[in-house]
A and B are shown apart, each in its own frame.
Chain A
Amino acid sequence: MTLTSTARRLRRPMIRERRRETWYAIAFVAPAAIGFLVFYLFPAIRGVWLSFTNYDLFSSGEFVGGANYAQIVDDKVFWNALLVTAEYVVINIGLQTAVALLMAVLMQRLAKSLVIRGILLVPYMVSGVVVALLWQWLLDYQIGIVNNALDFVGLPRQSFFGDPALAIVTVALINVWKSMGYTALLLFAGLQAIPKDVYEAAAIDGASEAKAFWRVSLPLLRPVLALVLIVSLIGSFQIFDTIAVTTKGGPVNATRVIYYYIYDLAFNRYDFGYASAIALVLFVILLGITLIQLRITRANKSDLA
């Protein structure tokens, strides 16, 4: 028997084995692939198509070219929605990140207890609808405990959801309350990954706790911070539950954020074509923000490396 024939005889079952493995892989991926094709890929393509039509749920809809996009340019409500969303995102993310950073440092330097981390995470585990209703009660103008407290310290009662100047701030603060524990946990994990000897070196050099934070923790945390910022920013743009339950976009348009505007256009006015066009614009905005943020913060590079 020659060497080549032995090799050939060995290779044939290997090829058969490879082919078998491919069939198994196809069978294993098939259910997920069907789910992906039908409920992710197909609707994404259909969404792009819808944005060029005047589809309204009842008729089949006609191709209208770029009319929807031309309409967006002149749509004051859209620009207002974008502005309100930006306002919400800035307050929400700014405050949430600052508070979460403080919490994370406290978790790391002081209160390492798992129970404390668990407690701070509870609001995040609860539904947005529950949180919205709960805060609407706490902030009730007449008998809400927060307004009672304001009254007690001699401040005027506030119509937190009814005052156009306050409504979006209120919604943003509610969601800071909901998500700060979660963000803190992510940042805490990032802090834990910083080697202890860096802190020891800083302590030997006589750095105070505050100095160690600004000069050691923060710079080394940057990659994690950047990632957390991107993820929470994208989530923040999708604010819906709180507004749908409390203000429904009002007073006037003070809380009509982009997500709620799209929902309103599609499901109250059945303007699916126009709603899809705005949804696509939102998609592009989020994509752009992600790319810019990755670029600026150099998220993939750590100073530890």
Chain B
Amino acid sequence: MTTIATPRRRFRIGRAGAWVLVGVFILITLFPFYWMLRTSFSTNGALPSHSNSLLPAEGTLDAYRRVLGLSSVSEALEKGGSTASVDFWLYLRNSFIVAISTTVVQTLFSALAAYAFARLRWPGRNVVFTIFLSALMVPPIFTTLPNFILIRDLGLLNTFLGIVLPNLLMSPFAVFFLRQFFLNISTEIEEAARLDGAGHLRTFFRVIVPMSAAPITTLAILTYVAAWNDYFWPLLVGQDENVRVLTVALGIFKAQTPNGGGPDWSGLMAATVIAALPVVILFTLLGRRVINSIQFSGVK
């Protein structure tokens, strides 16, 4: 009897231990985000005296009012904010402009190119595709330096066009990703459309795009998240307030924060909540797709 019971009990203990481990991972992942929220709803001046309280320290929405430019400078200073004007509405708008335009245009042109690489027959197709792919090997900073010079010479520093242009027309990854999917679409459906007299453009928009709606959406989400989160390039070309995106604004906000009395942590955390929220919402709504596509790339 005991010989049967022992391994089972050990198995059960092992299982419970493993579940505890899963719980620990989830806690480690989520607690920092909880702390970010908790701090953003706190009164900055009350943070030191309530540094261990799990609830917001003297709960208030002041931090959000401060970073959204809704309170006056003197009011903000009094609450432990900075003297610099911050307007995260503006930065939010700028981030939306950059991320949406990059996503729409890049996905469209990458899809068109991917279609030509996957389905059309033309001389030099595979050579051109291989050259496109080789760009994946180059570390971005190597091309970033000359790209900066080019954007400056074109007079596009501190313009939206300057921020989006290098990523607007294509990304090697997007072309590669979509080509993989287009290759798997059966040729029969495409040929049927062609026999019905549809041209290549019509076939692409009426047959290929609807049939690849899922991978195209996934790619669009990934592109959007990458554009939204990008820091390096906009930091170089878009410091100006009118085109400043959230990531750059966060860095500047952090640098401007007064040293005496400590940083405006509640203001900073409110700003990070604003910067993170759109992506987290998008991920909550469409996360299943993203997870599946990452898993897909893991197997490929």
Q: Measured between C-beta atoms, what is the minimum distance from A21 to chain B in Å? A: 5
Given A106-B21, A186-B298, A244-B251, the answer on whether A125 and B169 have CB atoms closer than 8 Å is no
Give complex CA distance A187, B299 in Å: 9
Count chain A residues whose beta carbon lies closer than 8 angstroms to a beta carbon of B: 94
In contact, A181 and B138 (Cβ under 8 angstroms): no
Question: With an 8 A cutoff between CB atoms, is A165 at the interface?
Answer: no
Question: With an 8 A cutoff between CB atoms, is B65 at the interface?
Answer: no
**Using Cβ atoms and an 8 Å threshold, which residues of chain A touch B135?**
36, 40-41, 44
Question: With an 8 A cutoff between CB atoms, is B77 at the interface?
Answer: no
Q: Measured between C-beta atoms, what is the minimum distance from A190 to chain B in Å? A: 6
Task: List A residues at the B interface (Cβ < 8 Å).
Answer: 18, 21-22, 24-26, 28-29, 31-36, 38-44, 46-47, 50, 55, 57, 102-103, 106, 109-111, 114, 116-123, 125-130, 133-135, 137-138, 140, 142-145, 148, 177, 181-182, 185-190, 192-193, 209, 224, 228, 234, 237-238, 240-241, 244-245, 259, 262-263, 266-267, 272, 275-276, 279-280, 282-283, 286-287, 290
In contact, A145 and B30 (Cβ under 8 angstroms): no
B251 interface neighbour in A57, A129, A138, A143, Cβ under 8 Å: A129
Question: With an 8 A cutoff between CB atoms, is B262 at the interface?
Answer: yes
**Using Cβ atoms and an 8 Å threshold, which residues of chain B touch A188?**
295, 298
Question: With an 8 A cutoff between CB atoms, is B288 at the interface?
Answer: yes
Question: With an 8 A cutoff between CB atoms, is B113 at the interface?
Answer: yes
In contact, A32 and B139 (Cβ under 8 angstroms): no
Give complex CA distance A238, B168 in Å: 22
In contact, A137 and B265 (Cβ under 8 angstroms): yes
In contact, A224 and B272 (Cβ under 8 angstroms): no
Q: Measured between C-beta atoms, what is the minimum distance from B245 to chain A in Å? A: 10
Q: Measured between C-beta atoms, what is the minimum distance from B167 to chain A in Å? A: 8
In contact, A138 and B247 (Cβ under 8 angstroms): no
Whose C-beta in chain B lies nearest to the C-beta of A99?
B25
**Using Cβ atoms and an 8 Å threshold, which residues of chain A touch B156?**
none
Q: Measured between C-beta atoms, what is the minimum distance from B214 to chain A in Å? A: 16
Question: With an 8 A cutoff between CB atoms, is B72 at the interface?
Answer: no
Given A40-B135, A122-B29, A133-B250, the answer on whether A31 and B170 have CB atoms closer than 8 Å is yes
